[in-house]
Amino acid sequence: MLVCKFGGTSMANAETISKVAEIVNSDPDRRYVVVSAPGKRDASDTKVTDLLYQCFNDAVSKGSCHESFKLVREHFDAIIKGLNLDLDFSEDYDEIEENINKSTTADYAASRGEYLSAKILAAKLGYVFLDAARVVKFNEEGELQLHYSLDLFRNVMENIERAVIPGFYGTKPSGEIKTFTRGGSDISGAIIARAAKADVYENWTDVDGFLRADPRIVQKPELIDCLTYRELRELAYMGANVLHPESIFPVRSVGIPINIRNTFNPDSKGTMIVAPNKRLDSKRIITGIAGQKGFTVILIEKAMMNSEVGFARKVMSVLEYENISFEHMPSGIDTLSIVIRDEQIQNKMQKVVDKIRDAVNADNVEIHSGLSLIATVGHNMASRHGTAATLFSALAKANINVRMIDQGSSELNIIVGVDTYDYEKAINAIYHAFMEAENGISIY
Stretch that binds ligand ASP, among 72-80, 176-184, 320-328, 379-387 (CB under 6 A): 176-184
By CB under 6 A, tell whether 170 contacts ligand ASP. Answer: no
Q: Binding to ligand ASP by residue 201, rule CB under 6 A?
A: no
CB neighbour list of residue 383: distance below 8 Å, 6 or more residues apart: none
Least gap, CB of 307 to ligand ASP (angstroms): 51
Binding status of residue 184 toward ligand ASP by CB under 6 A: yes
H/E stretch holding 59 reads: helix 48-62
When asked if residue 36 is in the footprint of ligand ASP (CB under 6 A), the reply is: yes
Does 117 sit near ligand ASP (CB under 6 A)?
no
**Tally of CB atoms within 10 A around 89:** 18
Q: Any contact of residue 171 with ligand ASP (CB under 6 A)?
A: no
Q: Which is nearer to ligand ASP, 36 or 296 (CB)?
A: 36
- Of 181, 254, 208, nearest in space to 3 by CA: 254
CA nearest 55: which of 102, 117, 116, 8?
A: 102
**168 counts as binding ligand ASP under rule CB under 6 A:** yes
Distances (CA, A) of 441 to 38, 279, 418, 425, 433: 47, 25, 26, 20, 9
CB of 53 to ligand ASP, least distance (A): 9
- Residues 4-23: x where in contact with ligand ASP by CB under 6 A, - otherwise, as a string: ---xx---------------
Closest to 203 measured CA to CA, from 5, 429, 428, 443:
5
The number of helix segments (H) and strand segments (E) in the chain equals: 15, 15
**Following DSSP, what letter does each residue of 305-321 receive, concatenated?**
GGG-TTHHHHHHHHHHH
185 lines the binding site for ligand ASP (CB under 6 A)? yes
* Torsion angle (degrees, nearest 10) of CA 238, 241, 242, 244: 110
Among 65, 79, 115, 167, binds ligand ASP (CB under 6 A): 167
Instruction: Kindly indicate which of the ranges 177-185, 210-218, 265-273, 308-316 contains the residues binding ligand ASP, using the contact rule CB under 6 A.
Output: 177-185
Three-class SS state of 293: strand
Distance between CA 364 and CA 300 in Å, rounded? 6
Question: With respect to ligand ASP, which residue has the nearer C-beta, 122 or 315?
Answer: 122
Q: Which of 62, 81, 147, 182 binds ligand ASP (CB under 6 A)?
A: 182
Which of 37, 51, 256, 404 is the binder for ligand ASP (CB under 6 A)? 37
Residues of this chain, 42-61, that bind ligand ASP according to CB under 6 A: 47, 49
CA distance 359 to 305: 13
Nearer to ligand ASP, 184 or 221 (CB): 184
Q: Does 183 bind ligand ASP (CB under 6 A)?
A: yes
191 counts as binding ligand ASP under rule CB under 6 A: no
Query: How many of the chain's residues bind ligand ASP (CB under 6 A)?
Result: 13
- CA gap 152, 147 in Å, rounded: 9
Q: What's the closest the beta carbon of residue 55 comes to ligand ASP, in angstroms?
A: 14
Q: Would you tell me which residues interact with ligand ASP (CB under 6 A)?
A: 7-8, 36-37, 47, 49, 113, 167-168, 182-185
